[in-house]
């Protein structure tokens, strides 16, 4: 199949309309069969549940072209599980077994001409989402829903790719204790918009959110989990009930232990410890692993010893191993790679 004429290497993390998307509707208590369509617009009631009470959940995963020319996705079973966990928390009907992966597979296949070639530095970002469509005015869940998936070719999430970024400790909270921080609901991201605009105005790339109850522990950023490396080479990653269970982070924990023989601690991380770490990175589907060079807490600067020029050495090893697995250069653990074609 001939690829679209796109300058893959200059793509940032933005929306580029592609030819096909997937749509399935939930009505009268059941999901229909779903189909690939071309229309990128949606017509819904002015009073739709998603518009009035933000009843929507989403996912994010990528399709990669491997070294030997296959198109694959990475652990989509975990996205399938997570979207259903998110849906259940917002009283959205879950997807039937197998539907998510089938829909992702069909959508990627249909958009094969925009799956970036191997070695281009770009990937195809896949955005599945479910939202309430029928009128809802009293505060209650909708009765009708739409599940859609679109794709967009993307480059690095942060401008500059692997260049370390500077983040600030946010004065805002992203999630409440016992709230929705652990699910991928649009409302969590709406919550973070003022905080990210504020951070950008102040010259920072991202926010570090602390735990909302005590503001003493590291949680995550608006779109990625944290990974730290201690001065003696241990990987440390925050554990919290109010952060998103990142598939990238869970995979990196395995990679660190089983591929690189590193010690890993998944535990609460006090903000007061951060000044003692050697490396820091943000991990997620969009972020992959984006190195952090500096963390600023109300004017108090923490400069990571790995510096502002390049990724720290342990972060780099994790990055190379994970992307090597995703692009087929390194053998993947069983079940991690879903071959689309
Ligand atoms: N944390 C938040 C808030 C996110 O939006 C994401 C992105 O999906 C992640 C973490 C990383 O999760 P994953 O690695 O599953 O993409
Ligand atoms: C992802 O990594 O898939 C996300 O959803 C993060 C978002 C900030 C783009």
**333 domain residue, yes or no:** no
Check pocket membership of 285 for ligand 2, CB cut-off 6 A. Answer: yes
C-alpha span between 219 and 207 (Å, rounded): 10
* The pLDDT of residue 276: 98
The DSSP bridge pattern shows strands 123-132 and 71-74 to be: unpaired
339 within some domain? no
Best residue among 207, 284, 286, 290 to mutate for probing ligand 1, ranked by most atoms within 8 Å of CB: 284
How far, in Å, CA of 178 to CA of 157, rounded? 29
Confidence label for 337 from pLDDT (cuts 50, 70 and 90): very high
Q: Which ligand sits nearest to residue 152's alpha carbon? A: 2
Task: Indicate whether 177 and 280 sit together in one domain.
Answer: yes
- If we measure between CA atoms, which residue out of 243, 194, 229 comes closest to residue 318? 229
Q: Are residues 102 and 13 in the same domain?
A: yes
pLDDT one-digit tens code per residue, 188-200: 999 999 999 999 9
User: Is 284 near ligand 2, meaning CB less than 6 Å away?
Assistant: yes
- Which helix H or strand E contains 197, and what residues bound it? helix 186-201
In this structure, the strands spanning 235-238 and 264-267 are parallel
Q: Which residues of 209-248 are buried (b: 16+ CB within 10 A; e: fewer)?
A: bbbbeeeebbbbbbbbbbbbbbeeebbbbbebebbbbbbb
- Residue 21's nearest CA partner among 96, 123, 103, 130 is 103
Q: How confident is the model at residue 1 (pLDDT cuts 50, 70, 90)?
A: confident
**Residue 282 β-bridge partners:** 226, 290
Same domain, 284 and 234: yes
Same domain for 143 and 64: yes
In terms of domains, do 249 and 195 share one? yes
Ligand 2 within 6 A of 244 CB?
no
Domain of 83 in residue numbering reads as 8-154
Assess contact for 150 and 21: CB atoms under 8 A: yes
Are residues 240 and 137 part of one domain? no
* pLDDT tens by residue, 124-178: 999 999 999 999 999 999 999 999 999 999 999 998 778 999 999 999 999 999 9
**Distance from Cα 201 to the centre of ligand 2, integer Å:** 21
pLDDT tens digits, one per residue of 227-266 = 999 999 999 999 999 999 999 999 999 999 999 999 999 9
In-domain check, residue 35: yes
Which residues, at least 6 apart from 199, have a Cβ–Cβ distance to it below 8 Å?
167, 168, 170, 205, 206, 207
Going by CA atoms, what residue is nearest to atom 9 of ligand 2? 286
Average pLDDT estimate for 31-48: 98
Q: Which residues of 295-308 are buried (b: 16+ CB within 10 A; e: fewer)?
A: bbbeeeebebebee
Question: What's the rounded Cα separation, in Å, for the pair 206 and 226?
Answer: 12
Q: What is the CATH number of the domain that holds 252?
A: 3.20.10.10
Is the CB of 244 inside a 6 Å radius of any atom of ligand 1? yes
Report how far residue 221's alpha carbon sits from residue 209's, in angstroms, rounded to the nearest whole number: 6
pLDDT at 159: 85
Rounded to an integer, what distance in angstroms lies between the CA atom of residue 336 and that of residue 228? 24
Distance spanning both ends of the chain, measured CA to CA: 12
Ligand nearest to the CA of 287: 2
Ligand 1: which of 81, 246, 336 to mutate, judged by most atoms within 8 Å of the beta carbon? Answer: 246
Nearest atom within ligand 2 for CA of residue 285: 2
CA-proximal residue: ligand 2, atom 5 (nearest) = 60
Statement to judge: residues 232 and 299 lie in one domain:
yes
How does residue 339 score in pLDDT terms, banded at 50, 70 and 90? very high
CA dist list (Å): 282 to 4, 154, 165, 200, 206: 31, 18, 10, 17, 10
Active-site residues, by number, are: 184
pLDDT at 161 (0 to 100): 79
- Nearest residue to 31 (alpha-carbon basis) of 104, 105, 93, 101: 93
Atom of ligand 2 at shortest range from CA of 157: 9
pLDDT value of residue 46: 98
Distance 225 CA to ligand 1 centre (A): 6
User: Is the CB of residue 33 less than 8 Å from the CB of residue 99?
Assistant: no
Q: Average of pLDDT values for 308-334?
A: 97
Counting ligands in written order, the one closest to the CA of 238 is: 1
CB-based contact 125:15 (threshold 8 Å): no
Say if residue 82's pLDDT is above 90: yes
Ligand 1 lined by 245 (C-beta under 6 Å)? no
Q: Does 335 fall in a domain? A: no
**Per-residue pLDDT, 213:** 94
Please report whether residue 338 resides in a domain.
no
> Residue 2 domain-assigned?
no
Task: Say how many Å lie between the CA of residue 81 and the centre of ligand 1.
Answer: 14
Does 60 sit in the ligand 2 pocket, CB within 6 Å?
A: yes
Q: Which pLDDT score is estimated for 160?
A: 78
Q: Which atom of ligand 1 is nearest to the CA of 285?
A: 16
Provide the domain count of the chain: 2
Q: Which of ligand 1's atoms lies nearest the C-alpha of 184?
A: 5
32 within domain boundaries = yes
Q: Which ligand is nearest to the CA of 227?
A: 1
| Ligand 2 neighbourhood includes 286 CB (under 6 angstroms) | yes
pLDDT exceeds 90 at position 92: yes
Domain assignment present for residue 224? The answer is yes
| Average pLDDT along the chain | 97
Q: Pairing relation of β-strands 21-27 and 35-37?
A: antiparallel
- The CATH number of the domain holding residue 109 is 3.30.470.10
Shared domain check, 288 and 232:
yes
Specify whether 83 is located in the same domain as 169: no
């Amino acid at each position: 199949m001939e690829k679209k004429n796109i300058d893959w290497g200059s793509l940032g993390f933005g929306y580029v309309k592609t030819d096909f998307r997937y749509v399935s509707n939930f009505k009268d208590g059941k999901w229909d069969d779903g189909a690939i369509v071309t229309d990128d617009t949606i017509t819904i009631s002015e009073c739709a549940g998603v518009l009035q009470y933000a009843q929507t959940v989403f996912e994010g995963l990528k399709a990669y072209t491997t070294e030997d020319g296959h198109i694959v996705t990475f652990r989509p079973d975990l996205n399938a599980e997570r979207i259903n966990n998110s849906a259940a928390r917002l009283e959205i009907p879950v997807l039937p077994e197998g539907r998510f992966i089938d829909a992702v597979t069909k959508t990627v296949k249909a958009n094969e001409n925009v799956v970036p070639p191997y070695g281009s530095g770009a990937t195809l970002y896949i955005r599945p989402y479910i939202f309430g469509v029928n009128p809802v005015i009293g505060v209650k869940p909708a009765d009708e829903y739409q599940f859609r998936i679109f794709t967009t070719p993307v480059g690095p999430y942060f401008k500059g790719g692997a260049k370390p970024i500077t983040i600030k400790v946010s004065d805002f909270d992203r999630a409440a204790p016992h709230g929705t921080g652990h699910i991928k609901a649009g409302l969590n991201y709406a919550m973070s918009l003022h905080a990210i605009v504020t951070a950008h105005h102040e010259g920072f790339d991202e926010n570090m959110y602390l735990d909302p109850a005590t503001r003493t522990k590291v949680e995550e950023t608006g779109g990625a989990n944290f990974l730290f490396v201690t001065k003696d080479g241990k990987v440390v990653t925050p554990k919290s009930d109010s952060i998103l269970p990142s598939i990238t982070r869970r995979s990196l924990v395995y990679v660190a232990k089983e591929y690189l023989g590193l010690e890993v601690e998944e535990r609460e991380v006090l903000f007061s410890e951060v000044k003692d770490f050697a490396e820091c990175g943000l991990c997620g589907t969009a972020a992959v692993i984006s190195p952090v060079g500096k963390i600023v807490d109300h004017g108090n600067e923490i400069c990571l010893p790995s510096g502002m020029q390049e990724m720290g050495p342990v972060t780099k090893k994790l990055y190379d191993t994970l992307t090597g697995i995703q692009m087929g250069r390194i053998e993947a653990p069983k079940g991690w790679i879903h071959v689309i074609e």
